[in-house]
Structure 1
Amino acid sequence: MSTMTSTGSTPSGSGRTSSDSARAEADRGRGLRLRLSGMNWLVWRQHRAAYWTLLAASAITVAVIVYQRQQMITYLDGYGYPDLKSGWEERFDQGPLDAASQLLALLPVLIGVFVGAPLLAGDLENGTAKLVNAQSVSRVRWLTTKLGMTALVVVVSTAAVSAVFTWWWSPVKSSSYVLSWSDAAGFDSSGPVPVALTLFTVVGGVAIGMLLRRTLLSMVVTLGFAVAVQVVWSYFRMSLGNAITVTTHNGVGSNSQPNVPDSAYVVDQSYLTASGDLMGWGSCNEQTEKAANACLEKAQVVGWSFEYIPMSQMSSMQWLGASILLALTAGIAAFVIFWGRKRLV
């Protein structure tokens, strides 16, 4: 009688075979691929280090801001928050808010340089773009997938950080002592502005990388582009509001200036003459008070004219500015796709 044996078998209930373990390991490795298939998976796989770094950094920043807000609310509770009593500003530590606003101001620059610039420049420099061009996937699909996935990660990350910063700042937002809303520290760090500025800089960096085709050079040029965007935006920011003019006819004494709402941004202040003309408030800056009064009397100055933008316009100004930035971003993205469709490789 012969006996047949099976060397690869295992007793019932003794565990999985080596092939089962390998299959399970492969299934775990394909977990994300099952959710991101085809080109989406390839783009994520290629840039996963940058994407995960950005998402992780955003998560840590959100956690820190949540903790800092709890600390701030604990302090404000001692002054009757939400109806704060006078004197709360004296011992208020605004250092964490200042540091966070400075970090948010750097986001468009850092993400534009390290995520946007290398996105296409790296592929063009090392020849990956030629390999993709030889496949069945069209250039347009490849470009739109890269841009779309990168934009999604950038929007999710910056929107989360911006939302919690806005939530943190809101209890003390009306006080000019803590982050002036008209400055970059407040205006550019809250609402939709950080998202729009970062997305614009990133897509601009992608376009620069596509044209220059060298990673390091593209990062340097994108750095200059990002700084230029910040400078132009700083001059453009307050022009988004509608200035309100208020005048007085009670002379120019210390108590005759018009009432301007708290935290309002004063655009300009001038002397008002009897004829209704405006004269620069420094026009009669004479050495002596007598000479200054004579100058004012000669010019027939009767009061003041103030132009200001109230804080109540901040939200509408932010959304208007963000809309303009997003429109410009869409235009650059269209240029990248149009140019890349014919001249990428």
Structure 2
Amino acid sequence: MKYRVLGKTHLKVSEIGFGGIPIQKLTQEEAAKVIHKAEETGINFIDTARAYSCSEEYIGKALKGRRKNWIIATKSMARSYEDMKRDIEISLKNLNTDYIDLYQLHNVKDIASYKEAFGENGALKALLEAKEKGIIRHIGVTSHSLDMLKHMIENPLVETIMYPYNVVERQAIETFKLAKERNIGIIAMKPMAGGVLSDGKLALKFILKDDFISTAIPGMASIQEVIENVSASKEEITKDEIELCDNIYKEMDKEFCRRCGYCAPCPQGIDIPFSFILRGYYVNYDLKDWAKERYNNLKAHASDCRECGICETRCPYDLQIRKMLKEVKKTFGY
């Protein structure tokens, strides 16, 4: 396994990290076996979140007696001081540790949520207090919005960013380069494009060819996935493989949502990008219950679409959004 420096944190992380979303569908014992195998291969960076149901707890139990071998990252959707303070304590308990290496503000998707989190009595205040006490070591942000990513790398308190990067989603390359110049650690999420890319090894080799990436975090739910993913760290990508990736990009360019949010607002109140994300988790990751619960909690659903087509006029990628929403409706039943 090769290691890279996670920006200004100075942490040396495995260039392939462990994404903690899919272990939700395993038992505690199964999850521990997968995590222990990852450790054997040299993976030392593991990412989870408060929102990933039992993921934090599974990781905490699996790492008992092994904490020193791991760099743990988690994240919270909390935006207020009190909510973040509470979530930090819950994460510490779940992860069975007295400190967390990287705590991230999860899915900061617009200026309103950014201002709330970074405001006078926002979540950042709780993170800074916890950092002073040594309870957390570093602070990061995650987002699906490129506009927000550009905004957040301007903040000197941000030590790491997490954003989608894969064969299909290449829209952040210039922003990543700018972030690297500012010594911000870059964590590539969705390396398999939400599960739509079938060749995991190729997908990771494509990402790892770029030195501005600190680590890529594919979700892993089996020992076989660990072995396949780690193999990407042992080989350089070839010219023919890059050409293959470019062909995949061209084929999928008009069918894949980059979650940029330009389609919003929907007149019916549908959160179009998040609906597509949840369908991906349901279909590609087999996280059916987790995805359905979150879909049920949405204020509006794919069945509410009146096919006005306004979203398609705004989409910079010319996606057939109405057709894609019908697939969401078919998946969830409404």
TM-score if structure 1 supplies the norm length?
A: 0.23
Q: Which structure's residues are more often strand, by fraction?
A: 2
Larger radius of gyration: 1
